[in-house]
Amino acid sequence: MTTSVKICGITDERGLTAAMDAGAAFIGLNFFRRSPRFVTLEQAAALAALVTREVKAVGLFVDPTDAELKTVLAHVQLDMIQLHGKETPARVDAVRLLTGLPVMKAVGVETARDVMAAQAYENHADWLLFDAKPPRGATRPGGNAVAFDWAILKSYTGKTPWMLAGGLVRANVGAAIKASGARAVDVSSGVETKPGVKSPGRIRAFLKAAAAAGARGKA
């Protein structure tokens, strides 16, 4: 099977170019101010303008207001909205209507019960993102380099396409894909030299490992 990859938290042209050249299907721009990967409107607009047609530019938000979404979309060309807060199914619907864009809803996972709870977003979200629940005391809902038991994702029976995130790196993405059955994966801190700084070499290595895992799954 083919494994799609999203490189999230892009902050500069170097990381963006590496992601696109290596074959990423999605790139993420982070609009959550408490994240080390936060980008200003000016930065995001400049980066989004460089994204090729084959790649989807995803804007990451945490419980955004309508005004925040409108402001960003007035300046930045996005292809998808990622909601990484406590947004309800009704809020997902409202964001889809407001923006006219598909919405990916992040779901924090620790146990199989959390996976089952994601069924609430069926027929609301266009994508789901299964990410590890943040550790106690964390200041942000994702990007904490924390993994969970990938095998519990096999209990998800919904029809909504989904991505796997949380603590993924080149060395474990193959095992994560095999254990979870994921056909799409999301990485941010796992391809960085320090928070917010993407490594072109690590991006290429991650994409290569994910592609190899997908090829093994198809064989």
Amino acid letter, 56: K
pLDDT in tens, 94-139: 999 999 999 999 999 999 999 999 999 999 999 999 998 875 655 5
Residue 158 to residue 162: CA distance in whole angstroms: 9
Which pLDDT value is given to residue 143? 52
**Cβ atoms 113, 152 nearer than 8 A:** no
Which pLDDT value is given to residue 155? 86
Q: Look up the domain containing 69 and give its range.
A: 4-218
pLDDT in tens, 144-176: 456 789 999 998 989 999 999 999 999 999 999
Residue 75 to residue 85: CA distance in whole angstroms: 22
Q: How many domains does the chain have?
A: 1
Which pLDDT value is given to residue 91? 98
Residue 73 to residue 137: CA distance in whole angstroms: 32
The CATH code of the domain that includes 64 is 3.20.20.70
Which pLDDT value is given to residue 141? 58
Residue 102 to residue 105: CA distance in whole angstroms: 10
Q: In this structure, what are the phi and psi dihedrals at residue 200, rounded to the nearest 5 degrees?
A: -55, -40
pLDDT in tens, 15-73: 999 999 999 999 999 999 999 999 999 999 999 999 999 999 999 999 999 999 999 99
**Cβ atoms 169, 208 nearer than 8 A:** no
pTM here?
0.92
